[in-house]
Structure 1
């Protein structure tokens, strides 16, 4: 076993201080307390960053637009808006994103699209109400009657398009 290895998870560290800091993840120990609000942290650096909320300190300034941030990673994320860099690519459709969180949200939408397939035609829907609505298409249901002429439609959007034809006639 390496000299600075966590007995809980086996992760190794170059410095003992890094191991001690890491072990707080397992113990739940949070020895660093904010004097303003009492919130506790497992790392001193996290307390320092948190204290900026109370002091208003925003040390990370964008050289392009002057906008300031409390955390360096937030500045780096912001700077991508100026460069147009979009390094995160969806493997399913090829769409690109500036931030990994945007890609993750987008990928969840892909997963949801396939969650509720209709058995006879194979079309998929993101939620059960949309699937149920589609079932009406196969059943020939037309739940949206025109109040002017009585003609019925299977989608509200189709009714609205139709109603415009009555406006043109007047």
Structure 2
């Protein structure tokens, strides 16, 4: 589902799906639904690059490509995943990222993005980030982040008896 903040953007998008494309490039014959799209396309043939990055001066034929490039300099990541919160500079990278969420069997760590097939494995992994140690030795009071570590530890007390 696509959403557009302005009606003009919706109309522009819908025009791309129309079979009638009256604006034709004289260089290569490619047709467009809008005159502005044809004008943007023509820069492919002329080599014209009217848009420049405010930070490094790199030139672009399209304004949207220039703006996307500038986000790399600023560190801006306006596209975020609704499932795990990870953010991206480029929308295409968010779409690629969303692939990991397609199958419900995957569980993603919100701290580092590592993916697990079992919820329990993710919960155990998250303790690395949180420092949580829920397993306590009843004999000496020492805490562990994994049950197996506590079991291994209790062997020390049995040997001492």
With structure 1 as the length reference, what TM-score do the two structures score?
0.51
1:85 maps to 76
2:94 counterpart of 1:111 = no
1:52 pairs with one of 43, 49, 54: 43
**1:23/1:97 CA distance change after superposition, 3 Å:** closer
1:96 pairs with one of 87, 90, 112: 87
Q: How does 1:1-170 map to 2 (within 5 A)?
A: 25=16, 27-112=18-103, 114=105, 124=117
Question: 2: CA distance between counterparts of 1:72 and 1:110?
Answer: 32
With structure 2 as the length reference, what TM-score do the two structures score?
0.53
Deviation, 1:81, is 0.5
Gapped regions of structure 1 (runs ≥ 5): 1-12, 116-122, 126-170
Gapped regions of structure 2 (runs ≥ 5): 1-6, 107-115, 119-161
Contact 2:18 2:33 in 1 (8 A): no
Q: CA RMSD in A?
A: 2.8
Deviation, 1:27, is 4.5
State how many pairs are aligned: 101
Question: 1: CA distance between counterparts of 2:16 and 2:60?
Answer: 27
Paired residue secondary structure (2:102)? helix
- Runs of 4+, deviation exceeding 4 Å: 21-27
Highest RCO, 1 vs 2 (Cα 8 Å, sep ≥ 6): 2
Question: 1: CA distance between counterparts of 2:18 and 2:37?
Answer: 17
Paired residue secondary structure (1:86)? coil
